[in-house]
A and B are shown apart, each in its own frame.
Chain A
Amino acid sequence: MTTRLLALGAAGVLLCFNAWAADMAIGFTVDAVTLDPGNYRARDTETLLRLMYDGMTTHGPGMKVVPELASGWQQRDPVNYDFTLRKDAKWHDGSSVVADDVVFTFTRLMTPGAINGQTSPRKDLLGPLKSVQKLDENTVRFVLDKPWPVFPTMLTFQEVIPKAFVEKVGAAGLATQEDGSGPFRLLEWRRGEQLVMQRVGSSCIDHLIVKVLPENASRVAALLAGDVDIVNELPVDAIRQVEANANTKVVAVNGTRSFFVALNNTKPPFSDARVRQAANYALNKQVIIDRILRGRATALNGVLSPDTFGFDASLPAYGYDVAKAKALLAAAGHPDGIDVTLDTDGAGKDMAEAIATLLTQAGIRTKVAVGEATQVRARWLTKGAREGDMWLSSWGNGSLDPIDIFDPTLHTGGRGNSSGYSNPEVDKLLDAADTETDQAKRLDEYKQAQVLVNRDAPWIFLWLPQDIYGVSARLTGFAPSPDGRLNLRDACVK
């Protein structure tokens, strides 16, 4: 067997051919579910589509919202936005991006049944958008139903598509073909394996190949072997290996996914705020950040990450304090500690076991229950049975605006309010901030809400991990972005 292998391998070496020097490859965790920019809801698909399609706006340096296909916009009043298109914007087939394309794109997203009878899964990302009108060849007006201050931010999530192309190939064609205005043009999509793209315009990259590599060890292997120049989701345990290799290095950026242990606020023992606070004091999260996450995470004392609008850096921290935790437990009527269960899926097993061990040492005797991800989530849905005690959970926030994370996870009845937390004061503040157009006031409302949540401790606040990438030493001009996008406009490989 071994000799067979060696012989085959040797034959491979002799016939090995070099990839073109100016080709760049990425090892990416998942494939796109579709190439239709209006017909999906997966963030990784968005990352891939953004290589080929542009939006009206995007995130610039420092996560500031900047125009992309637009040259700029004007907010006429709280509900009217006028966007002017860039004159030099071109589709990959050479024609210009015009107002009709924008109107077509957003009408398709908003109109029920517009995609072969299906409604876009991205419809509600546009919030109260009512209509899109063409003012002239290069100007469109977006009209909202009610004020929605995050509208330009939310536009970063939508890619503009060419009307003529979609009318020619139909929704079925758009699902597997591409004609965008982004930096890369699709050459071939081999489903589940790779996306091959060509750089549009002059650049030092000729082709970009996205290889689908779901297994962590294989993605790292591909980077170390020089098969790819970037890998996403580099596991923390591979950092040492990647740094030790002369041809690879690690780059990271603060992510946007907040981790927490949802405590069941609707049943004892965690219906008592003192027990929830005790749990926060009982967990030595710094030791987990240092030892397991290897320092690649920021401790949180609330729901928002430091880069998010409205983040309050002055929130009191729940430091590790076993005595205080035990006192709070005793005050709540549990002088001998409590016995609870921590739910998790397979992927979170190790972390859940670490958390359980640390909590147990501090009198919160925790058992870990591992289940299939979908089933565990179903049990903790807002409308689910919610019979468990604790759930190791997280919530992503690509827009870096509280509206996408604070409202769903902590507003009464919110979609992601797995802990069943309900505080009328918090609800009022969030509702007000939703439509507040005065940014200073909005900021203040979120800060007040954060103080309340911090005090009520509906969760064990955990951390915000960094998004870690492994890159090859020959790569230049790439910096990871907090929104998870791969901005490769200036990327270069030698």
Chain B
Amino acid sequence: MILRRLLHLIPVLLGVTVITFLMMSATPGDPAEIMLAGQNASAEQVASLRRDMGLDQPAAVRFVHFIGHALEGDFGQSLFQRRPVASVIGERLPATIELSVAALLIALLVAVPLGVLAGVYRHGVVDRLATIGSLLGVSMPGFWFGILLLILFAVRLRWLPVSGEIDFSAMPPRVTGFLLIDAMLAGRWRSFVDTLRHLVLPAITLALPMAAVLTAVVRASMQDVLRRPFVSFARAKGVPEWRVLVRHALRNAMLPVVSVAALETGSLLGGNMIVETVFGWPGLGRLVVESIFQRNYPLVQAAVLLYAVTYVLINLAADLLYMALNPRVRP
């Protein structure tokens, strides 16, 4: 089944690549002109830039060229950075992953307990709070909430830093590029804490809408499951209440949560451009959005492929989890 899903990657990647290509070639804008925008430049300079960028070739030729090289793992040169796309993207990956994982963890840590309590004690205080909390969370724009946190915790209280991933004086030696892991490898408690301090605000900003959605889903799903016959049956059999809740109810209630969490995690990787901009976080989202506006075709193509692979893998993981939680599903 895993093998089948991995094979399934091929048509997805192909579809994504083709759509990206069609979209980008239908969108007006010339990267050479963008690079020289608002500057004087000779016709010869424009021509040499276009040649370096491969724009003197027809779009279809460039596309075939890209596919051919991509199969060999070469994604070409980023048009503006003028370095290989793979390294430009690679440099941004660790920060993106660290932030996304942190946000996912925060969201789950908030949503699951809160949602379960709200579901079990229906119409109780926790339920009311959870409902209002998730409504607030979901209706607050990320950039607005982020700036609010900045003003409060970085400007007024000065508890946390405004921007970046780490303070320069606390940088651990680079091993994996993941600062938390590098800090642990180097045994530097200070680096570890400094990284966490930088991570808190962007991770909470990113986690907020996700936590809000997940809380609502857990709550609804829990309420739903608790009314199902198998729960009453288990209770009737004399199974202890905590066991009913954990073994029977929670397990089934987690099914839609897994679907939604997988989706939200996927959009985390692409959708954190705003948070990255507000907190000066060196992630991939900002780079890709800038690249779209600059018509940096090779970088956008490669990033799109990366997103697609990540989506498929996350969903594969979600499906495996689904099967583990619900043995009756045999896809």
Contact = CB atoms under 8 A, between A and B. Distances in A.
Given A218-B279, A373-B293, A213 B48 contact: no
A12 B280 contact: no
Nearest to A197: B168
Contacts of B44: 123-124
A489 interface: no
B35 to A, nearest CB: 5
Contacts of A36: 82
Interface in A184-229: 187-188, 190-194, 196, 207, 209, 211-215, 217-218, 221-222, 224-227
A123 B169 contact: no
Contacts of B139: none
Interface stretch (A299-307, A375-383, A420-428): A375-383
Contact of B282 (A9, A192, A207): A192
A394 interface: yes
Interface string A415-433: 1100000000000000000
Contacts of B287: 192
B161 interface: yes
A156 to B, nearest CB: 15
11 contacts: A15-B190, A124-B44, A194-B168, A213-B163, A215-B278, A215-B280, A217-B147, A227-B161, A378-B28, A378-B29, A403-B40
Interface string B151-173: 10111011111111101111100
A221 B168 contact: no
A416 B38 contact: yes
B160 to A, nearest CB: 5
Interface in A13-39: 13, 15-17, 19-20, 23, 27, 33-34, 36, 39
Kindly name the residue among A13, A42, A221, A381 whose own CB sees the greatest number of chain B CB atoms within 10 A: A221
Contact of B150 (A20, A218, A396, A415): A218
Interface in B45-73: 45, 48-49, 51-52
B280 A13 contact: no
Contacts of B52: 117-119
Interface in B260-289: 277-283, 286-287
B163 A1 contact: no
A222 B91 contact: no
Interface string A94-122: 00000000000000000010010111010
Nearest to A381: B33
A193 B164 contact: yes
B82 A34 contact: yes
A309 interface: no
A8 interface: yes
Contacts of A395: 38
B154 A221 contact: yes
Interface in B185-225: 190, 193-194, 197, 200, 204
Given A15-B193, A190-B165, A191-B282, A416 B160 contact: no
* Binding site secondary structure of chain A: mixed
A408 interface: yes
Contacts of A27: 163
A124 B150 contact: no
A213 B193 contact: no
A12 B40 contact: no
B240 to A, nearest CB: 31
B34 A124 contact: no
B164 A194 contact: yes
Nearest to B284: A192
A374 interface: yes
A175 B82 CA distance: 8
Contacts of A416: 38, 40
A419 to B, nearest CB: 15
A41 B36 contact: yes
B168 A209 contact: yes
A12 B110 contact: no
B29 A212 contact: no
A40 interface: yes
Contacts of B27: 375
A213 B42 CA distance: 33
Contact of A119 (B48, B155, B160): B48
B155 A224 contact: yes
Interface of A: 1, 5, 8-10, 12-13, 15-17, 19-20, 23, 27, 33-34, 36, 39-42, 112, 115, 117-119, 121, 123-124, 172, 175-176, 187-188, 190-194, 196, 207, 209, 211-215, 217-218, 221-222, 224-227, 372-375, 377-379, 381, 394-396, 403-405, 407-408, 415-416
B162 A221 contact: yes
Nearest to A27: B163
Given A5-B153, A225-B158, A374 B295 contact: yes
Given A123-B48, A124-B44, A374 B164 contact: no
A394 B48 CA distance: 25
A218 B147 contact: yes
A183 B294 CA distance: 32
Interface string B88-115: 1001100100000000000000100000
Given A41-B35, A215-B278, A407 B40 contact: yes
Interface in B113-171: 133, 143, 147, 150-151, 153-155, 157-165, 167-171
A10 B280 contact: no
B254 to A, nearest CB: 22
A449 to B, nearest CB: 16
Contact of A378 (B30, B190, B293): B30
B181 to A, nearest CB: 16
The 10 A-B pairs at the shortest CB distance, nearest first, are namely A192-B282, A193-B282, A9-B159, A124-B45, A374-B29, A124-B42, A119-B48, A408-B40, A222-B162, A118-B52
A120 B131 CA distance: 58
A151 to B, nearest CB: 15
A5 B204 contact: yes
Contacts of B295: 374
B277 A214 contact: yes
A193 B158 contact: no
Nearest to A5: B204
A310 to B, nearest CB: 16
A175 B87 CA distance: 12
B41 to A, nearest CB: 6
Given A121-B35, A193-B282, A225 B159 contact: no
Nearest to A378: B28
Nearest to A19: B169
Kindly name the residue among A40, A225, A378 whose own CB sees the greatest number of chain B CB atoms within 10 A: A225
B121 to A, nearest CB: 19
Contacts of B278: 215, 217-218
Contact of A217 (B36, B150, B190, B282): B150
Given A175-B82, A225-B154, A227-B154, A375 B28 contact: yes
B169 A20 contact: yes
A123 B294 CA distance: 21
B243 interface: no
Given A9-B157, A121-B45, A190-B282, A215 B277 contact: yes
Contact of A112 (B42, B48, B88, B162): B48
Nearest to B158: A225
Interface string B10-50: 00000000000000000111100111111111101100110
